[in-house]
Each structure stands twice: as C-alpha cells, then as structure tokens.
Chains A and B, each alone.
Chain A
Amino acid sequence: QKEVEQDPGPLSVPEGAIVSLNCTYSNSAFQYFMWYRQYSRKGPELLMYTYSSGNKEDGRFTAQVDKSSKYISLFIRDSQPSDSATYLCASKEPSGNQFYFGTGTSLTVIP
C-alpha cells in the first residue's frame, strides 16, 4: 500500500463548477499536508500547505485535512479553464526527510 493514495481521474467539469479533489493516507505520523498544481511538462507548483487537521482557505482554493479519517481534500470554487492541470497531494512527518506524493488527479475545466 502506498503512503498516499489518490484517484488519478481524469476529472472533467464545466467552467464555474466546484471541484473536489481527494487523497487518503496511511501514516498517522503525517502532520504536514500539501497540494501542488502541475501543468503539462512543468514542475509542481505549491498551492496549499497545512499543518495537522482543519481548513485553510486561499482565494478560490480550500484545503481540508481530517486526521481522524486520514483524508485530505482540495476544493476549487468557480473553476476556470486555467485550473486545468494535474493536482498532486503530498504529506510529511514533522521530522521526516521526504514528502510522500499521490499519483495526481488530472483535471480539465471545460469553457
């Protein structure tokens, strides 16, 4: 079992829709949770960074962590065609040396 599991999609939504992207993880020691956006043939771009459980909002993006169920979510409101990309979730232990990534979910927002 991978440390972080993510449905690869693909996910296709109309412009303006609310998008929900999800990951699960197995290591209860994970405390740091990240969402990256990756455009085709580009490096991952950090979108959201959260510590422990709770919600964090940044513009149209909301990251949510539920440590009791080991569930990580990213919500995108009023989705735009420019949001079309692969979204990667990642997790890390406080003293760990590496980030563990999901496989990424491919999102297409249709104009």
Chain B
Amino acid sequence: GAGVSQTPSNKVTEKGKYVELRCDPISGHTALYWYRQSLGQGPEFLIYFQGTGAADDSGLPNDRFFAVRPEGSVSTLKIQRTERGDSAVYLCASSLGLVNTEAFFGQGTRLTVV
C-alpha cells in the first residue's frame, strides 16, 4: 500500500498482559515515529527511529515500553505488564528523513486495557 499501515487497528487486552503493535511505514522512508494520543489530546511523542536505530526514545513513559526496527522498515512497539493507563491510540508516522520532510501518519492502533 501507499500509506503507513498499522496493525491491529484495535486491541483489547487484560491488565498485566504483553502486547505488540506493528507499523509498516511508507516504502523508502527512513524516519519512523511512534506517538500516543489520549482522548481529547494531541499526539505525544514516544520514540523516533532513523534507520534501524532508536535515535530518540525520550518519550517512552517507563521501561515497560520498548520499540524495535530491526531491518529499518517495519517497527514493533512492545508494552509489557500493561496497565489501564496505557489505554490510548498509538500512532505511527514515517518521513523521508529527519530534516525538511513531511511526516505521514497511519490510522493508529486503539489499545484498551481492561
């Protein structure tokens, strides 16, 4: 597809469980971002990848959150021991590079922790 693809679109999990959220960026885009959006709020930065490396993970709220991008394309956001406060829409975006390029978002994964 031409756009950023995120799977699953919805995920309901029990408190304490582990979840993985997947992002497939636009082909050729080296920069990849994860954001989190709570109801009525703007997206908040989690982590930024340039290629395979996490160039900035300063937005990850705690060590239960981790993300990888092993081949510089698809990325997985991993959340351990989920808590009800983790419930939000997790958004992925990609861009051609870091400077002077637009970022395009996927549809998001709506995570609900019950």
Contacts and interface: CB of A to CB of B under 8 A. Distances in A.
A6 interface: yes
Given A32-B100, A46-B102, A103-B40, A97 B107 contact: no
B44 interface: yes
A28 B80 CA distance: 37
A43 interface: yes
Contacts of B41: 103-104
Given A8-B40, A98-B45, A99-B45, A46 B98 contact: no
A8 to B, nearest CB: 7
A44 B76 CA distance: 20
B55 A44 contact: no
Nearest to B57: A97
B48 A98 contact: yes
B50 to A, nearest CB: 8
B106 A99 contact: no
A54 interface: no
13 contacts: A4-B42, A6-B42, A44-B91, A46-B103, A46-B105, A51-B100, A88-B43, A94-B99, A97-B48, A97-B58, A98-B56, A101-B42, A104-B42
A89 to B, nearest CB: 8
Interface string B37-53: 00011111100100000
Nearest to A51: B100
Interface string A68-111: 00000000000000000000101000110111111110000000
Given A43-B91, A104-B40, 18 more contacts: A6-B42, A32-B100, A42-B107, A43-B4, A43-B106, A45-B105, A46-B102, A97-B58, A97-B98, A98-B45, A98-B48, A98-B59, A99-B33, A99-B43, A101-B35, A101-B43, A103-B41, A104-B41
